[in-house]
Amino acid sequence: MSDVDNRPPCPGNPRDFVWVRTRNGGHWRHKRGTYKKAVLNHVLSTNARLTKHTNDAASRLMNHLRPHLEGMQPGRSYVHVAGRLKQAYKQNGAFDFSKLLDFDFQKECPLRAFLDLNANIAENGNRVQLDVPVSRRMLNVAGQDITQLRFQLILVYGDVTQDGGLNDSMHESDLLSVDDQEQCCSLSVELPEAQPWMLLLRLSCLHNDGSDALRQRHGMRVIRVGGSAPAGSQRIDLD
């Protein structure tokens, strides 16, 4: 005979009761919230609200970056971005990009898998300059068939808590040949005032038959973060 057959009659409206199984059988009880509003543990409820806000912020950021992710497979980047935004909020009390430093948007094949980027990043006032020496010496084992490449320096800044709150600017190098003779690729960008920002380096490569590179020949990584929101902004109500 099943457990259902052994149950005593429900003492009231079945919609208001739930059957609770125990080691000694079971019993009916009122559903939580029947007589008073069910209250979650304060820490759990606060964390749930923060998770909702960080997921929304991650969605805004990933949607904003979508054009720059073309040709790549970001995989679970959204999940990791959301987690890092939450860490930043818990540490700083506001959303910023501080925990995204060195984040690679294609974990399965990061930039370092095929290139050793011995880049120099210099921040001078409100300007950042990137200098990258380019030659065959920069190629790792997985990148030996690369003959040409192009760098893009992408600045993303603004408010991830608001729809339309993010902006970006992009500076692109020429298509550079990779050979034994070293050349220097230099790109610079002007930083925004009183706003969180992050600087991404996107790399697009061509392999030795001159055709468009496969997806693993594209990569993008956060190479610098900074700035802060004005006092009181980019905060959320968790109460």
pLDDT in tens, 144-190: 888 888 999 999 999 999 999 999 999 999 988 888 888 999 999 99
Tokens 């860490």 found at: 87
Within 13 A of 51's CA, how many CA atoms are on the CB side? 7
Higher pLDDT, 210 or 167: 167
- Average pLDDT score over residue span 213-233: 74
% of the chain residues with pLDDT over 70? 84
Higher pLDDT, 207 or 179: 179
pLDDT digits (tens, 9 = 90+) for 117-155: 888 999 888 899 999 999 888 888 777 888 888 999 999
Higher pLDDT, 183 or 209: 183
In 3-state terms, what secondary structure has residue 75? Answer: coil
- Rg of the chain (C-alpha set): 26
Distance (Å, rounded) from C-alpha 221 to C-alpha 201?
Answer: 5
pLDDT digits (tens, 9 = 90+) for 64-99: 999 999 888 888 899 999 999 999 998 988 899 999
| Residue 214: band (very low, low, confident or very high) from pLDDT cuts 50, 70, 90 | very low
Q: Would you tell me how many other CB atoms lie within 10 Å of the CB of residue 146?
A: 21
Q: Tokens for 37, please give them.
A: 């509003």
Closest CA to 168 of 61, 54, 53, 56: 61
